[in-house]
Amino acid sequence: MDIIYLKALKIDTIIGIFDWERQIKQTVILDLEMATDIRQAASTDKIEDTLNYKAVAKRLMDFVQNSEFQLVETLAERISEIILTEFSVPWIRLQLNKPGAIRGAQEVGIIIERGKKPDNGQKF
């Protein structure tokens, strides 16, 4: 399996449990690794035959900008569900960073891996 990735996708959203966090938009940063098979696209040289990372980024930007979750855990889970279902990706690794969440820490966030169970017994 091959991996298409997006690194440091910055999106402003309402996220957090404190009252002040519910009043302002904060930046979250996404790093995504998405399993796919690029052989068909490499053979045809057509965007239709690959995972369109621009479409993924646009969908996630729209979703995250309009979300208002309290926990980064919930946001990460919803993002992974979108990618797995809407883009037919069998496996995703997502790192969600919420800069500035902890004074003195450069980065704070969560890393999750999610996947679909393969129909043909292959491992991802």
Give residue 90's identity as a one-letter amino acid code: P
Query: Sign (positive/negative) of CA torsion 98, 72, 113, 56?
Result: negative
Q: Which two tokens stand for residue 70?
A: 């309290």
Beta strand 91-97 with 109-115 is antiparallel
Give residue 39's identity as a one-letter amino acid code: R
* Whole-number Å distance between alpha carbons of 27 and 13: 6
Calculate helix-pair angle for 53-65, 72-86, nearest 10 degrees.
140
Please pick, among 98, 116, 117, 123, the residue that the annotation labels catalytic.
98
98 among known catalytic residues: yes
Residues annotated as catalytic (active site), given as ranges: 98
